[in-house]
């Protein structure tokens, strides 16, 4: 067999003479894989972020710091009672849910948490975070399972019992998203593909203020340091008179 022009190469095929792409170092690939993993981390819900903030505040704070926003003095009249520290044992102030447990009393600056209560509350927050994560994961899996079940379902024909529109309620409801499936057949490969399209209708009503802006919590300020009282000497001839304002008594004719 006579040698061919390409027989001097390492292989016996023409493709062996083509230049091979340069391989990236292993450490570069590891860095890229780590970077992709960080970007794919799911975002935490509002409930989990709130519990983590409370747990971190209980662990790191000394309990002597005062609330920079001044706390709240509604004494659970406008807000719910605090589920963590319901009362200050120094001055007896009733604390609402706006007063965070890791801050000092807004009135007498006493520490609200003892060491035992602090450790118990920290374990309580950790347990609440675990339960919330499990609850959200269960809901996510339920949504995924419902989506899988909907993929195998046949489209509902008009006029059937399943296509009967439900009874409308008096309360306005948000429009629901509709999913459509398209079956495409490739004439060359003789293979079919199923594509899903979801139409999300836009609500016609404008976004409410609570949805567009962060709701500002109303806080009741501290009472005045002095007690409001009448400093005038009462009149013996008119002991029933109003001492806060001057009144003109008109005799009855």
Average pLDDT of span 136-147: 89
Q: How many residues does the chain have?
A: 253
For residue 75, give the nearest of 98, 108, 104 by alpha carbon: 98
Query: What is the pTM (predicted TM-score) of this model?
Result: 0.49
- Phi, psi dihedrals of residue 50, rounded to the nearest 5°: -65, -45
Q: What is the pLDDT of residue 225?
A: 80
Q: What CA–CA distance (Å, rounded) separates 183 from 179?
A: 13
Q: What is the pLDDT of residue 199?
A: 67
State the DSSP code for 109: -
Distances (CA, A) of 107 to 47, 177, 225: 29, 52, 11
Percent of the chain scored above 70 by pLDDT?
64
- CA atoms within a 13 Å half-sphere pointing along the CA-CB vector of 71: 26
Q: Which residue has the higher pLDDT, 190 or 104?
A: 104
3-class DSSP assignment, residue 12: coil
208-232 confidence digits (pLDDT tens): 443 333 457 889 988 888 877 777 7
pLDDT band at 110 (very low <50, low <70, confident <90, very high): very high
Joined together, the tokens standing for residue 53 give 């903030």
């Amino acid at each position: 067999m006579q040698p061919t022009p390409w027989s001097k190469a390492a292989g016996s095929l023409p493709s062996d003479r083509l230049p091979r792409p340069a391989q990236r170092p292993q450490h570069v690939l590891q860095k890229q894989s780590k970077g992709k993993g960080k970007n794919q981390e799911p975002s935490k819900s509002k409930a989990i972020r709130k519990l983590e903030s409370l747990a971190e505040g209980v662990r790191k704070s000394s309990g002597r710091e005062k609330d920079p926003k001044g706390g709240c003095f509604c004494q659970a009249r406008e807000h719910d009672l605090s589920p963590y520290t319901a009362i200050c044992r120094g001055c007896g102030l009733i604390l609402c849910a706006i007063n965070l447990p890791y801050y000092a009393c807004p009135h007498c600056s006493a520490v609200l948490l003892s060491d035992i209560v602090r450790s118990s509350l920290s374990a309580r927050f950790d347990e609440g975070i675990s339960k919330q994560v499990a609850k959200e994961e269960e809901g996510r899996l339920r949504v995924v399972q419902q989506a899988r079940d909907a993929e195998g379902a046949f489209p509902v024909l008009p006029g059937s019992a399943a296509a009967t529109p439900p009874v409308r309620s008096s309360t306005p409801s948000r429009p629901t998203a509709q999913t459509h499936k398209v079956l495409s057949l490739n004439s060359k490969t003789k293979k079919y593909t199923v594509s899903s399209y979801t139409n999300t209708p836009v609500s016609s009503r404008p976004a409410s203020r609570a949805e567009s802006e962060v709701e500002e919590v109303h806080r009741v300020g501290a009472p005045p340091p002095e007690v409001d009282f009448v400093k005038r000497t009462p009149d013996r001839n008119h002991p029933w008179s109003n001492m806060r304002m001057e009144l003109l008594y008109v005799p009855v004719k």
